[in-house]
Amino acid sequence: MRPDGAEHLLVRDGNMVRLNKFLADCGVGSRRECDRLIADGAVQVNGKRVQPGTLVEDSDKVTVNGKRIALQRKYYIMLHKPKGYVTTVKDDLGRKTVLDLIDIPARIYPVGRLDYDTEGLLLLTNDGDLANRLTHPRNEINKTYVARISGMLTEAERITMEKGVTIDGVKTAPARVRILQQDKHHTRCEVTIHEGRNHQVKKMFEAVGKEVEFLKRVAVGDLRLGGLARGGYRYLSDDEVEYLKNL
Ligand code: URA
């Protein structure tokens, strides 16, 4: 900590870094969550409670609720989520979580959500800054899904969905809806949205009277699921991580 008490004035000072960033880098949570922990008095630096904006350096002893926190390697993982898994870290109903599919020596968490019965591309990381970037509505990150719906989607319905439909009283932002294949009984569509509202794709179809039978996320930005096996995961390359950081 700075002995002159000027922690709040600087974001970085040589090897010093703001406490909320240090905690986020250590995988404690997003910067905002870390600010809350600091404000709640859960964080101590060298045995003392501190103010938000405090600067720390590597040699400082930082604890959260009495547990020592240290810088951690960053993990960036792409999982092909199967149906039947929740995208939370723990489930009150005892259902399997996506973390049951991953074996790495760090506490990572899912970036955004996929429904229990949705499959496809799910990113997981312990990089709170990147997770926030990718999920913040302001950044309008495209997410692309393949959906199979019952019945035929008409051109008028497709255009309505693209222009925006009202779900839960709020109009959706413009989207892209392409019909990939259809017959009398089913339509397979590709849907790209940049919002992340709850059950958004299903509700967009519901708004034009269609029911989603199958839903899979195939891309986040230009990052595609590709041939990754269902239930499998892989580490992102440095280039892929860099791409996501600049999205
Ligand atoms: N839209 C949905 O309806 N469900 C998902 O899991 C993701 C997007």
Q: How far apart are CA 204 and CA 209, in angstroms?
A: 9
40 catalytically annotated: no
Q: Tell me the one-letter amino acid at 162.
A: E
Three-class SS of residue 100?
helix
Catalytic residue among 60, 91, 115, 129: 115
The predicted model scores a pTM of 0.78
Compute the average pLDDT of residues 72-82. 93
- CATH topology classification for 76-137+224-245: Alpha-Beta Plaits (3.30.70)
**Closest CA relative to residue 153, chosen from 197, 185, 192:** 185
- CATH topology classification for 17-68: 3.10.290
Q: Domain extents for the chain?
A: 17-68, 76-137+224-245, 142-220
Instruction: Decide if pLDDT at 91 tops 90.
Output: no
Instruction: Decide if pLDDT at 1 tops 80.
Output: no
Q: How far apart are CA 220 and CA 64, in angstroms?
A: 33
Q: Which residues are paired to 234 by β-bridges? A: 78
Structure confidence at residue 207 (pLDDT):
97
Could you identify the atom of ligand 1 that is nearest to the CA of residue 203? 3
Question: Do the two domains 17-68 and 76-137+224-245 of this chain adopt the same fold?
Answer: no
Residues 98-130: tens digit of each pLDDT? 999 999 888 899 999 999 999 999 999 988 889
Alpha carbon of 104 to ligand 1 centroid (Å): 27
- CATH topology classification for 142-220: Alpha-Beta Plaits (3.30.70)
Structure confidence at residue 14 (pLDDT):
53
Compute the average pLDDT of residues 184-209. 96
CA 241 to chain centre: 14
Instruction: Decide if pLDDT at 211 tops 60.
Output: yes
Q: How far apart are CA 141 and CA 192, in angstroms?
A: 10
Q: Which residues are paired to 219 by β-bridges? A: 144, 224
